[in-house]
Each structure stands twice: as C-alpha cells, then as structure tokens.
Amino acid sequence: MLNSLDLEGRPQDTRVVVAMSGGVDSSATAALLKSEGYDVVGITLQLYDHGAATHRKGACCAGQDIHDARNVAERIGIPHYVLDYESRFRESVIDNFADSYASGETPVPCIECNRSVKFRDLLATARELGASALATGHYVASRRMSDGSRALICAADADRDQSYFLFATTREQLDYLRFPLGDMTKQQARDLARRFGLTVADKQDSQDICFVPTGRYTDIIGRLRPNAIEPGDIVDLDGRAIGRHQGIVHFTVGQRRGLGIASSAPLYVVRLDAASRRVVVGPREALRMDRIMLRDVNWIGDGAVDRAVSDGLEIFVRVRSTRAPQPAWLRAADGGYEVELVAGEEGVSPGQACVFYDAPSGQARVLGGGFIQSATAKSATARAAVKALPLVEAMRG
C-alpha cells in the first residue's frame, strides 16, 4: 500500500528528511509531513559566512533563517540538524558563478546549488540517515509514470513554478525526491503554516542570491576573479569602439540601461566577448536569435535522448526563468544538441538555462534542458540585415 508520498509503508514507518531553509515553504512542508505521521528529520544547510546577511531582508540561508528553521522544528517536534556545507558550496556554486561571469556568461547559481549541493550532497546524507525520501518546499510536482519512474511536472501555481531551476535533476534523484507543495498555491502554503502555528507564516520570500548579502554580485566576482573587472571597449556590430566600460561583469545580454552611451536610438547588449573584454551593442533587432547551442544537457523525458531527437523533437523551451515556454525543435548537432526556436527569442544569454517542456502551459512535464553555450540568428542573411542598420547615424543624432 502506498502512502501520501507514493512510498510503500505506513507514514510512521517512513523516515523523511526535509530540507529546511527557514522560509515558509520548507517549514510548511515539514509541518505537513509531521502532521501526517511521518518520521520527519529537518536539515538546514549553512552554505556561506552568513554574518553579513543576518539582518538583510530577502536573503536566504542566513543566520536568521537557521534560527527560524530551528524554531519551526522545535514547534512541530522534530529533530533538526545544521550541516556545514560552506566549503562544498563555495567550490560547486560560488566559484562556478564567478568563473561563468568572468567568461561573459550570465549564470543561474540556484540551478547549480540544486543539482549539486542539495540534490547530490544533501540527498546522500538523507540516505545515510535511513530516510526513504528527501522532501523540499519547491513549487514543482512529480508523478509516477506507468513504468514506475517519476516525471517532473510544473507546479499548479504558475506564478510560483520553479521547474526552470530544477531541470538538471536526474532520474535517480527524482525517484528519491518529493515536493509536497507542487499542487498548492503560495497562499495555501502560508495558510498551512498558520494552521500549524508557525511564526514564519508571513515571512518575506527570499529574493537575492543568497551568498550576495549586499545585493552587489560584482563585489564577490571582483574579489574572486579580478580580471573580470578590467575595463574595455563598448563596440557596435561592426566592431567600432563607441565607448568604454569598467568590466564585462556589469553587463548581460539584452541589457539596455546603464550602458553609459549617448544615443538617439535605444541600444542593447548583444554579446559579451570576454577574451577581448568587449561589450557588443546594437539595436533591439540584433537580440533576436533562432538557434541555441547547448552544453551539459540533462534528459528526463521518455527513453534515451538520442532516440527521442533522432528526427528532431518538437518541444517548448524556456530560455529565462521569467519567460514563457516557446515552441522549438530539439536536434542533435555537432556531437551535442541544439534548439531551433520557431519564432525566435530576444536576449538569449550564454550561461542561462534552456529548459524543455512537453506543453506551453499548465502542469507540463519537464523533459530536461541544458545550459546555453551560444546563440545565433537563423541565417547569415538575417545577421547581415541587422548589421546593416544605421547604428552610427542613429548615435550621431
């Protein structure tokens, strides 16, 4: 007989580790599972030197958050442990974040944290504790398929869906992970927290990158990778210098504000060239890309990825966490994989994730995804047409 977590056995005979960040979502998850009779163990990860972030609103995993998680665990009557993961977090997430920015990318550190520190290291710890599952407060769902495997599904609350940040979850990890809030709204989670008398019921959601307590990520990059803060040229699409900048880490593809260039026509960051320290700018038309080359592709759809894409697979892709999924084709190319966007997309930035879905909306299934390595316009003709736009004349006003 399966219990509410789709596991064999009675809840009281089933140990579940809950990753407790100190926020309302993970706290409600722990309280809900405890109320259902599960043998719940709460674990909070100390991921970085949290002293500077203790009193900063919107920062996660900070000193106050550890304190809140401990209080919730005491309130609902479960054992709670704080594990020092600072060194592995620094190596897997912070160093990777700095390297990515220094190479001209725009990384998503939450993805790396989920796939390595949480779903690799913490998951292993949960197994060592004899747990049958690791539960988190992520807004995403999983479903058992006919073959017994589990599929990753978008959350019922589209405004809270976190599937973009979990695309790198493997099939083996999915078998062990559980997401009790996947079919709830944020308001329902807060109502749960109130029902269980948790003081975090109205706690503000974390917003910043957790290891950037000042909100200025360039401070960390400057300390870890000083070469990424070196000045360089801002150039147009023809390579002509039209300004100077104080480091490519201050820019991201699609950026319009803060370029420091006087122009009668709007200019956008089209590309970052780390090797030459150049920021390439152009009109909005130059942002539209049609093909995306991917690296580190993770496939959690049916069967093997090569068989699935043998003749091209029609999918829907999200190229930024805030974008809606767009129709596309996934194909094998040059020993890797590429995505062809049916209608094109603006501001496709290397380092961001390109996540695959089987539907454009609703509780779609996540088929996997990869990190954007590069993006191009569909044809040389299209690129030439963009390049020929009267940018210099527009700047002269």
Active-site annotation, residues: 113, 210
The distance in angstroms from the start CA to the end CA of the chain is 74
Whether the CB-CB separation of 241 and 233 falls below 8 Å is answered with: yes
Whether the CB-CB separation of 368 and 300 falls below 8 Å is answered with: yes
Sign of CA dihedral 351, 356, 360, 361: negative
| Dist CA 189 CA 195 (whole Å) | 10
- The alpha helices in 140-258, defined as continuous H runs, are 171-176, 186-195, 217-224
| Dist CA 83 CA 304 (whole Å) | 36
For residue 391, give the H/E element and its range. helix 391-396
Residue 321's nearest CA partner among 216, 230, 207 is: 207
Whether the CB-CB separation of 40 and 222 falls below 8 Å is answered with: no
Residue written as tokens 């599937």?
A: 163
Whether the CB-CB separation of 64 and 22 falls below 8 Å is answered with: yes
Which residues are CB-neighbours of 275 under 8 A, at least 6 positions away?
none
Q: Where are the beta strands (DSSP E) in 36-132?
A: 39-46, 80-84
Which residues are CB-neighbours of 388 under 8 A, at least 6 positions away?
none
- The alpha helices in 182-216, defined as continuous H runs, are 186-195
Beta strands at 313-318 and 353-357: parallel, antiparallel or unpaired: antiparallel
Please give the biggest Cα pair distance in the chain. 74
Beta strands at 177-178 and 268-273: parallel, antiparallel or unpaired: unpaired
Residue written as tokens 């972030």?
A: 53
